[in-house]
Amino acid sequence: MSFNKAPLATLVVGAVGVVYGDIGTSVLYAVKEIFGSGHVAFTPQNIYGILSLIFWTLTVIVSFKYVALVLRADNEGEGGLVAMLTLASRAVQDQPRLRRVLLIVGIFGTCLFYGDGVITPAISVLGAVEGLEVISPQFKKWVVPLALVILFALFAVQKSGTSRIGKFFGPITLVWFATLAGLGIFHIWDHPEILRALSPHYALGFMWNNPGVTFIILGAIILCVTGAEALYADMGHFGKRPIRIAWFSIVMPALTLNYFGQGALLLANPQAIKNPFYMMAPDWMLIPLVVLATMAAVIASQALISGAFSVTKQVVQLGFLPRLRILHTSTKEAGQIYIPFVNWALFVAIVLAVVMFKSSGALASAYGIAVTTDMLITTVLTFFVIRYAWKYPLWLCIAATAAFFVIDLAFWASNMLKLFEGGWFPLLIGAAIFTLMLTWKEGRKLLHERTQQDGLDLASFLDAVMISPPVRVEGTAVFLSGETGTVPNALLHNLKHNKVLHEHNLFVTVKHHEVPWIGLNKRIQINPLGHDCWQVTLNFGYKNEPDVPEALQQIVGHGCALDPMQTSYFLSRDTVVPTMNGGMSVWREKLFAQMHHNASAAADFLHLPSNSVVELGSKVEI
């Protein structure tokens, strides 16, 4: 991976900016929501208990679960729920039913990521802009319009790429964490006794004395670890070591100091509960702090938006979504992409969230469900990875994951209490995308089966054609086919209408595998068919760029010259026709047909030269 080439300090700073932007903005609203829920009596003892709960939630979920355990489960250096899913599914591939269940669970978790991608920018930017209310109550009416303007500007600049502003993310976020730590120290200095809440007995005492209240407020406490999934998802960009160093040396200390500073402020001034974060700052610092918080919120949002682009590209290549128009915003970094449809679909959903909920407090009710469900799914998949892939003893696997499962389940159950207060919103988004993904996957399976039924064996067909061969014309024809060894429809149409065959013919099948990267040494498989024809299989990982012309350069030397000026690419453009007796319900077949129709051109997805592509259509009933 490229992160091994960069200096460690650079990677640590980059990790602070990209990986921890989301969790770094949770200080804006977490404490306010916990006490603002009305369930916790405002007493010094409860302040100690809540701070202790926050600290140990950060320690157990982030430090122990993600940093110590989950970061070890990398898929060739890549992390995230897609990587964990492919590891788990490969580990149980000899158990088809279990593998199918894990795939469905993992894909649903991936769909919830989009729900998180809607809520995070909305709550982060709203939480930052709400600092204006502390400056003057008259600014309250401007919070939502200003947040929408900032969000629109953020999404509007995505098409130009983030490489230019990305290099400033780390330093700005470092300033943000330094500010968090400084504000915390300022108030802890006046009430150093607040540091006693580092002891777990305050958290245990609060839970023992208030079991019902504890269960209810877990839905608000989880806000302090939103963004924990990001440190795993971004492992491929920075590596494990920089992420761990950034957490323990910068992020964890700064967050702890700020939360405890808010607690010290509340001990001295209970009225600060209206907005404890902003009320930590002296008056002269409020406007700069609002600006800095807004910048931090934008950075946190950018990480989620870029993540949405990356995850979408991965699930497209894994076959769970149709091809989408993907634009590359950097000539140097293949991972920097822009997907117009995803960008503006996210923006519309975020506008709906801001307009419907109107405040970070209201959005907090919608936030936890998607986060805790993904955390629960990660724990479940981790068990199958360490048991079936790493072959650890069953007792050790249970010991390593059972405690996290119970904790995740408690947080998830608490957040389900907020289902009708707004928790339904990210679940609705996730369920809609999940329906699209399963429909596409099942539709592709039906299309494959129908193609197999109607398909002709390629080698036998060529032998039959060559008994009375058509006119051979100069140049090379590349026939793209979804199935190896089957006659492409484009070849049949070409012979029927043009009555010619090229001098050289390549029958190319592109395969995407459940690994992030496949090296050039395993990119191409060539099988001579005779008659100057070859069956070619191109292999790509879900993070590789599927550049067919570049990959086909490896065929030179196998008896086939690939001159770009004399090479034509033939594609079959199938039109799907739903039928009443198909394998899916009619509405799903119609949905699949529409998705298939609206899929971006295969030529763009496979990087085929636009002036050398010939598309020949046909109808397929499913």
Q: What is the pLDDT of residues 120-136, one digit of tens each?
A: 889 889 988 988 888 88
Q: What is the pLDDT of residues 39-58, one digit of tens each?
A: 888 889 999 999 999 999 99
- Mean pLDDT in residue range 171-186: 95
By residue count, the chain amounts to 622
- Counting Cβ atoms within 10 Å, is residue 31 exposed (0-12), middle (13-18) or buried (19+)? buried
Is the pLDDT at 335 greater than 60, yes or no?
A: no
Tell me the chain's radius of gyration from C-alpha atoms: 27
Between the alpha carbon of residue 302 and those of residues 231, 449, 506, 533, the distances in Å are: 14, 41, 42, 48
* Amino acid at position 557, single letter: G
Sequence-separated (6 or more) residues with CB below 8 Å from residue 51: 194, 197, 202, 259, 260, 263
Superfamily grouping for domain 7-441: Amino acid/polyamine transporter I (1.20.1740.10)
Residue 516 CA to residue 87 CA, distance in Å, equals 11
Q: What is the pLDDT of residues 355-379, one digit of tens each?
A: 998 888 888 878 888 889 999 999 9
Q: What is the pLDDT of residues 142-159, one digit of tens each?
A: 889 999 999 999 898 888
Is the pLDDT at 406 greater than 80, yes or no?
A: yes
Cβ–Cβ under 8 Å, residues 205 and 43: no
Helix and strand element counts for the chain (H, E): 26, 8
- Counting Cβ atoms within 10 Å, is residue 320 exposed (0-12), middle (13-18) or buried (19+)? buried
What is the SS3 string spanning 346-407? Answer: HHHHHHHHHHHHCCHHHHHHHHHHHHHHHHHHHHHHHHHHHHHHCCCCHHHHHHHHHHHHHH
Which band of pLDDT confidence, cut at 50, 70 and 90, is reported for residue 3?
very low
- Residue 346, pLDDT score: 93
- Residue 538, pLDDT score: 94
Q: What is the pLDDT of residues 200-230, one digit of tens each?
A: 999 999 999 999 999 999 988 998 998 888 7
Which band of pLDDT confidence, cut at 50, 70 and 90, is reported for residue 235?
confident
- Residue 464, pLDDT score: 92
Is the pLDDT at 332 greater than 60, yes or no?
A: no
Contacts within 8 Å (CB) and 24+ apart, 340-347: 340/159, 342/308, 342/309, 342/312, 343/155, 343/158, 343/159, 343/305, 343/309, 344/155, 346/114, 346/117, 346/118, 346/155, 346/305, 346/308, 347/151, 347/152, 347/155
Is the pLDDT at 30 greater than 80, yes or no?
A: yes
Contacts within 8 Å (CB) and 24+ apart, 397-402: 400/69
Residue 281 CA to residue 135 CA, distance in Å, equals 11
Q: What is the pLDDT of residues 565-576, one digit of tens each?
A: 889 999 887 778
DSSP-assigned states of every residue in 22-34: HHHTGGGTHHHHH
Sequence-separated (6 or more) residues with CB below 8 Å from residue 615: 490, 570, 571, 572, 573, 603
Give the residue from 5, 77, 19 showing the smallest Cα distance to 244: 19
Instruction: Locate 281 and state its tokens.
Output: 């700052």
- The single residue listed with the structure tokens 């070849």 is 491
Residue 538 CA to residue 484 CA, distance in Å, equals 11
Task: Give CA torsion, residues 115, 364, 294, 240, to 10 deg.
Answer: -60
Which band of pLDDT confidence, cut at 50, 70 and 90, is reported for residue 276?
very high
* Amino acid at position 101, single letter: V
The values of phi and psi at residue 330, to 5°, are -140, 140
- Going by the DSSP 8-state scheme, the letter that residue 568 receives in this structure is E
Is the pLDDT at 167 greater than 70, yes or no?
A: no
* Amino acid at position 478, single letter: V
Instruction: Tell how strand 524-530 and strand 567-577 pair up.
Output: unpaired
Is the pLDDT at 166 greater than 70, yes or no?
A: no
- Going by the DSSP 8-state scheme, the letter that residue 158 receives in this structure is G
Residue 217 CA to residue 214 CA, distance in Å, equals 5
Is the pLDDT at 164 greater than 60, yes or no?
A: no
Which band of pLDDT confidence, cut at 50, 70 and 90, is reported for residue 330?
low
Cβ–Cβ under 8 Å, residues 328 and 337: yes
Q: What is the pLDDT of residues 537-596, one digit of tens each?
A: 999 988 888 999 999 988 877 777 788 888 999 988 777 878 776 678 888 888 988 888
Residue 154 CA to residue 305 CA, distance in Å, equals 10
Between the alpha carbon of residue 92 and those of residues 98, 101, 395, 398, 542, the distances in Å are: 7, 11, 18, 17, 20
Check: pTM over 0.85? Answer yes or no. no
Helix axes 211-221, 44-57, angle to 10 degrees: 50
Among the listed ranges 237-246, 314-323, 511-520, 551-560, which one has the minimum average pLDDT value? 551-560
Residue 212 CA to residue 203 CA, distance in Å, equals 14
Is the pLDDT at 418 greater than 50, yes or no?
A: yes
Domain with CATH 1.20.1740.10 in the chain: 7-441
- Residue 333, pLDDT score: 53
Q: How many CB atoms lie within 10 A of CB 527?
A: 13
Which one has a higher pLDDT value, 478 or 120? 478
Which band of pLDDT confidence, cut at 50, 70 and 90, is reported for residue 1?
very low
Among the listed ranges 225-239, 245-259, 342-356, which one has the minimum average pLDDT value? 225-239
Residue 497 CA to residue 354 CA, distance in Å, equals 56
Is the pLDDT at 161 greater than 70, yes or no?
A: no
- Residue 5, pLDDT score: 55
% pLDDT > 90, the chain: 41
**DSSP run (H or E) holding 439:** helix 424-454
Residue 456 CA to residue 402 CA, distance in Å, equals 52
Per DSSP, what are the bridge partners of residue 479? 507, 570
Which band of pLDDT confidence, cut at 50, 70 and 90, is reported for residue 497?
confident
- The single residue listed with the structure tokens 């149980």 is 92
Between the alpha carbon of residue 130 and those of residues 133, 142, 149, 297, 405, the distances in Å are: 6, 9, 14, 12, 35
Q: How many CB atoms lie within 10 A of CB 379?
A: 22
State the chain's mean pLDDT as an integer. 87
Give the residue from 233, 317, 309, 234 showing the smallest Cα distance to 541: 317
* Amino acid at position 308, single letter: A
Which band of pLDDT confidence, cut at 50, 70 and 90, is reported for residue 2?
very low
